[in-house]
Amino acid sequence: MESCVQEKRRFPRKQLDQPAEVIDNDTGMIIGMLKDVSKGGFRLLTSRGIRPSDIRNVTLVLPGPQAATHKVSVTAQCVWCKGLNEKSQYAAGFALSDIQEQDAVALSYFIRDYNVAGQ
């Protein structure tokens, strides 16, 4: 039997198949790897749990053509975090709460133009 789950997100997500770091701007440390991104938020994999409601200033290091990267700085609030397995890995979802106009444009172009290999 097929389940019918209605998508509640306002913006479609772009899945990533290449490494894309998420860097905490306050500490300079990598907090995780980006798994998907939309105009409204992103999901990352991390080795540490993140408390829902935490607000982070982060840079998304997005993959580009020919090994180039594009850096987009955002302020985002963690809306959920769950453990994935016994290896202390977590998935966390963030909603964008602030983004500068030039970063919003760069993110929009990335979402439009990024292609997952094999698709």
CA-nearest of 3, 103, 100, 94 to 41 is: 94
pLDDT of residue 4: 45
Decide if 90 contacts 44 (C-beta within 8 A).
no
DSSP conformation letters of 51-79? -TT-EEEEEEEEE-GGG-EEEEEEEEEEE
CB of 48 within 8 A of CB of 104? no
pTM of the model: 0.85
For the chain, give the percent of residues with pLDDT over 70: 88
Written as six digits, the tokens of 69 are 């990267």
- Of the candidates 42, 106, 27, the one whose C-alpha atom is nearest the C-alpha of residue 71 is 106
Among 45-49, 55-59, 113-117, name the one with the lowest average pLDDT. Answer: 113-117
Residues across the chain = 119
DSSP-assigned beta bridge partners for residue 24: 58
